[in-house]
Structure 1
Amino acid sequence: TVTLDRISVTCSPQSICAVKGTEVTLNCSYSNINIKTVFWLSEKQSTNWRKNNEPEDLILDSDYSGRVNHQISSGSSTLTISDVRERDSGEYQLMFIMNDGVKHLSSAAVSLTVT
């Protein structure tokens, strides 16, 4: 099960416009309590998710293969997408997996538009 919004998340900026072929950086910060791991996802990639519509890490997504880098520091997470493509346009958000195994989806998201 995935629950929403148990963690306070702030994404800055909330929307990014990029020219295709360039690199973008998405960043969200959060209160780092009982979080085991965190990953970035995009709902638009759900057709690639392998297990019953369970959100998957973008790093595992073949559409992003070799183009994404995820940096986690205490209380913040940064996703860098290089060589952006028009089909990368969409909403990106964080999934938190807690120490007890419960998953929390961030309602805060970053909107990316690639032209």
Structure 2
Amino acid sequence: MGTIASLREGDRRLARKAIARGPVWAQFGLPLRHTVAAFAFPGAVAPGWPAAGVVCGAWAVLVAGERVHSGAHYPSDVAAGAVLGLAAAALVRAAPHLLGRRVL
């Protein structure tokens, strides 16, 4: 019991589709929505509220670790997502200065 041969026909078809798709990490890749968002938030919050930035940053590291542990992404993908998230936060915080007016 529990083998593909003992499963119902519908379950066997589902198992064959999963096997045909390949490993989970091959189905994902860039862009990394979870990791980018997880690092963008603390990147934006930390300059104004350092304590919250530390807490959110720790959470972002846990999210990144989960993406690697679950097999959804390679570590290099997650690192790229973290860099993209922090760069996006820096760009958003610098936008008023780049536009020539001080809004924040």
* Higher strand proportion (structure 1 or 2): 1
Larger radius of gyration between Structure 1 and Structure 2: 2
Question: Shorter-chain-normalised TM-score: which range?
Answer: under 0.3
TM-score, structure 2 normalization: 0.24
Structure with more relative contact order (C-alpha pairs < 8 Å, separation 6 or more): 1
